[in-house]
């Protein structure tokens, strides 16, 4: 990984990682705590062309406890799978 890209990734990821309490902690939901690391930073560092990916697939997240209220006010619960393609 190039030094420049690695520094960018470390700076982005280090915004909240490794902080205990205080500055990096919230007791309620805060979208500011979600930090996106652009895929292109790592792909460029490894010489991977965005237009010609050498792999297929993606990320899968499983949510085993999902609940919601229907439009009629009835509670429903279930499981959910989220798929985010690599491209």
**For 11-65, how does the pLDDT look when each residue is reduced to its tens digit (9 = 90+)?**
877 777 766 666 656 778 878 778 888 888 888 888 888 788 888 888 999 999 9
Nearby residues of 63 by Cβ (< 8 Å), 6 or more positions away: 79, 80, 81, 82
Integer Cα distance of 39 and 86 in angstroms: 9
Task: State residue 80's pLDDT score.
Answer: 96
């Amino acid at each position: 990984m190039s030094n420049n890209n690695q520094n960018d990734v470390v700076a982005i990821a280090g915004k909240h990682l490794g902080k205990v309490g205080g500055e990096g902690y919230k007791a309620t939901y805060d979208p500011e705590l979600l930090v996106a690391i652009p895929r292109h930073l790592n792909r460029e560092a490894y010489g991977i062309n965005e237009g010609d990916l050498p792999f297929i697939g993606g990320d899968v997240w499983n949510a085993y406890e999902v609940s919601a209220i229907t439009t009629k006010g009835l509670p429903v619960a279930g499981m959910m799978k989220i798929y985010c393609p690599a491209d």
